[in-house]
Structures are given as structure tokens and as C-alpha cells.
Amino acid sequence: MARPRCSNAVFASFNVLTLLLGAAVLAGGIYAGAPHHRGGGGATDCERFLRTPALIIGAAIMVVSMAGIAGACCRASLLLWLYLFLAALLILAALCLTVFALAVTNAGAGRAVSGRGFKEYRLGDYSSWLRRRVEDGRTWGRIRSCLAEAGVCRSLQSNRTFDEFVNDNLSPVQSGCCKPPTECNFAYLNETYWIKPSGPSNSSNPDCDTWSNDQSELCYGCQSCKAGVLGNLKNSWKKIAIINAVLIVLLIVVYSLGCCVLRNNRRHKYTLVGK
């Protein structure tokens, strides 16, 4: 008789763990989209389309976990069958999301610049799916507005010398949005103020013409800025993929326990009927 109770207790305990995990993911998604949230040098708070998957996954984990807890505590076979069905869908969805995140972020990386401590980013290096996200006018308008309001580039203004600035390890967004590309050969005045050459530019990079010393504009309209945002996004999605991999393993373990609990409960029920 002790075996079913033990299985139910272990199964319920694991579901409490996944319930707390789901609540953490849900809270993280809500916090990431909160208006008061500000990032020091990144743009993850501006990439709003990352918020929706976190909210959906967090809510789904909580619903599945509560079904498992209720099924274990009440020994309700119907709830356990529901749990197994929902858990299978969740595992499949998490697996697909992980593969998708790795696929769309596989391409694209910062390019080292000679004599510079930072890397520079080009939009064409990233996958077409990611490029379409930032090339959409409405989406980029929201991201650009958020970047300006968050003061991403203001954090660079510390009156450093040129040598100090070029040896700094800038974030992808700071590199792409707060300064002109190195190939433009602009003269450095301070971190966010650069003087264009008096003669015609030898560079074919359109960002050289897009750059503005207006502190509300800078390079927010540049292709390099969009690439910098994708650079931050790639780093975020890599972390999400790792978290999802851990989540999948945990869900598979709990799913296996659920199958065991359902089998034990049915066996326990037949034993009671036999008596």
C-alpha cells in the first residue's frame, strides 16, 4: 500500500517544483515588459516580442503542474490523464522552441575591428527571419523609441579619451547604436559626438550618412543599430535555449513519474475492488 502513496508524494513534490519554476518564468516575462524596467547597456527590455513566449510558457507550466498536483493528491485518474496529455504537448512545444531559437540565432556574430576593444555588427550577417523582425517599420519604431528613452547611449558619456573609448568592451547595442561605424572615419569628439570628414566619404556604408550628433537620433536609424539589437537578442535566445533544455529534461522526468503514478493508482484501485 505504501508504494502508491510514495509515488504520489514524489510526483506531487516534483510538480510543486515545476509550478514554482513556471511562476518564475511568468514573473520574469511580466517584469521584462514593465515600463519601469531599464537595462544598463542592453536592449532586452526593448525587445517586446520576447515577452510573449515567456508569458505563454510560464502560464502553461503552471497549469500543467497544478493538474499534476491535483491528480496526485486526489488520486484522480482523469486529472492524471489530462496532465500527461498537456505535459506531452508542453514538452513538444519546448523542444520546438529550443530548436527554433538555436536555428534562427545560429548565424550572425560581431566582427572584430583592428585596434578596437569592441566588435561591430552587420545586419546581413543574421538570419532572414530575425532581419524581418527589425526591418518591420512598426516593430523597429517601438524598439528605437525604447532605446532612446532607456538612455542606452547616455551611459557611455564619461568624457573619456579616444584611446580609452576604443579599447572599451561595448555591448552590441552600444556599438551599433551609439557611435558611427569605424569605416566612416569620423573624428572623435566624445563618446556620442563625432565629426564627419569635410571631403567626400570613401565608404559605401549608408550608416555614415544616417549618423546624427543629435543625441535623440545618433545611429538609432542605422543598419548597425538593428544588427546590435539582434546581437543582444541572439545572446538572450541562447540563454533561453539552455534554460529550455534543462526544462525539457525536468519535464520528461516528471512525465515519467506521472506515468508511474497513474499505473500505480490503477493497480491500487483494482486491489481495493478485489478486496
Indicate whether 147 belongs to any domain.
yes
3-state secondary structure of 222: coil
Indicate whether 144 belongs to any domain.
yes
Indicate whether 1 belongs to any domain.
no
Count of domains for the chain: 2
In a shared domain, residues 155 and 171: yes
Indicate whether 36 belongs to any domain.
yes
Buried b (16+ CB within 10 A) or exposed e, 13-27: ebbeebbebbeebbe
In a shared domain, residues 84 and 130: no
Rounded Cα gap, residues 163 and 110, in angstroms: 21
Indicate whether 266 belongs to any domain.
yes
Indicate whether 134 belongs to any domain.
yes
Closest CA to 172 of 224, 134, 104: 224
In a shared domain, residues 242 and 175: no
Write down the pLDDT at residue 3: 47
> 79: Cβ–Cβ under 8 A, 6 or more apart, which residues?
67, 68, 70, 71
Indicate whether 192 belongs to any domain.
yes
In a shared domain, residues 214 and 116: yes
Q: Which domain holds residue 240?
A: 6-108+232-274
pTM across the whole model: 0.74
Rounded Cα gap, residues 38 and 150, in angstroms: 6
Closest CA to 22 of 161, 30, 175, 268: 30
| Contact in structure between 14 and 54 (CB atoms under 8 Å) | no
In a shared domain, residues 122 and 219: yes
In a shared domain, residues 122 and 220: yes
In a shared domain, residues 199 and 243: no
Looking at residue 264, its amino acid is N
Tens-binned pLDDT, residue by residue, of the chain (275 aa)? 444 445 788 888 889 988 998 888 788 767 765 554 444 444 444 555 556 777 888 888 899 999 889 888 887 888 889 999 999 998 998 888 888 888 888 877 889 898 899 999 999 899 888 898 888 888 898 888 888 877 889 888 888 899 999 999 999 999 999 999 999 999 999 999 999 988 777 788 999 999 999 988 999 999 999 999 999 888 877 777 787 888 888 889 889 888 888 887 777 665 554 55
Indicate whether 86 belongs to any domain.
yes
In a shared domain, residues 21 and 87: yes
In a shared domain, residues 156 and 182: yes
In a shared domain, residues 59 and 89: yes
In a shared domain, residues 155 and 221: yes
